[in-house]
Amino acid sequence: MLHEHYPFPRPIASQPVAKSTVLWRELPQRRLHESLGWQEHPLTNVRHLPAAPEPLPTTIRIMLVDKQVIVHAGLRSLLAGEKTMTIVGEATRGLDALRQVVRLQPDVILIDPALLEMDGIELIRQLHAAHPKGQILILTTVSEEQWVQATIQAGAIGYLLKDVLKPDLLQAIRAAVRGEPTLHPAAQRALIHQVTFSPFQELTEREKDVLRLIVQGCSNRAIATTLCLTEGTVKGYVSTILAKLQVNDRTQAALYAVKHRLNMAEVKGA
């Protein structure tokens, strides 16, 4: 929650959120940079740190974009005592946000794209295209891996959850103006997991062998013969594979393996 001056009920995040006043120092800096797409990582649309920090403007001009009016009220109250920050615009709809950002040219756009009537990721892209110098800072309750990665790729420089403490929010806004990224620990872990996770990492080598043969269209009997197993043992492997991949049948398992590019190297023991 935005503490101290954020007078509304705490939103419930879709996943458990680590409570910490430290936002992006949790992981080694090099690993965080690689997860964000720096140093030739495949996330090529992610911004790069500037060569040297730029001085902050005398007053940081902030625009609020959130469907919930009570969130606007809470943020106004929280930022009211900050002499170096001012709210120059507010929007509860995506199209209105686009019109205002062109006219107001804010330094930071504080936005929850998950609640708007239009596609939130596309809105971030359009806001970034309409005002490239404006920094987009996500403030939301959503911490799913794909959502975190998509918003960063679309042009957001930071990702916070709405349980963020006031000092950390203020620090993130200042960092955004300098072109420096800030990630809530939950978003940080989600992004690292998305970058490094293999959908087959929970499968044993023998289960991968069975899955490769399923992809080739082999029956349980043929798999048993190839791997020198009993047919009953193969059935057990198939059931385990379906459960681990969270699919319903052999056909879905084969399609999943093809979609996620299971290494179709020679089956061990064949």
Reported as a single tens digit per residue, the pLDDT across 106-149 is: 999 999 988 666 788 899 999 999 999 999 999 998 888 778 88
* pTM for this entry: 0.55
* Residue 197 dihedral angles phi and psi, to the nearest 5°: -70, 135
**68 CB-side CA count, 13 A:** 18
Q: How far is CA 57 from the centre of its chain?
A: 29
Q: Are 22 and 97 in contact (CB under 8 A)?
A: no
**Would you identify the CATH topology of the domain 205-259?**
Arc Repressor Mutant, subunit A (1.10.10)
Burial (Cβ within 10 Å: 0-12, 13-18, ≥19) of residue 21: exposed
pLDDT of residue 262: 76
Domain ranges of the chain: 29-196, 205-259
Q: What span, in angstroms and rounded, lies between the C-alpha atoms of 219 and 210?
A: 10
Tell me, what's the pLDDT at 49?
A: 45
Q: How far apart are CA 117 and CA 207, in angstroms?
A: 44
Contact 145, 174 (CB under 8 A): no
Query: By three-state DSSP, how is residue 220 classified?
Result: helix
Residue 265 is predicted with a pLDDT of 63
Is domain 29-196 classified as CATH 3.40.50.2300?
yes
Per-residue model confidence (pLDDT) at position 2: 53
In this prediction, the residues of the chain whose per-residue pLDDT falls under 70 are 1-56, 115-117, 190-199, 263-270
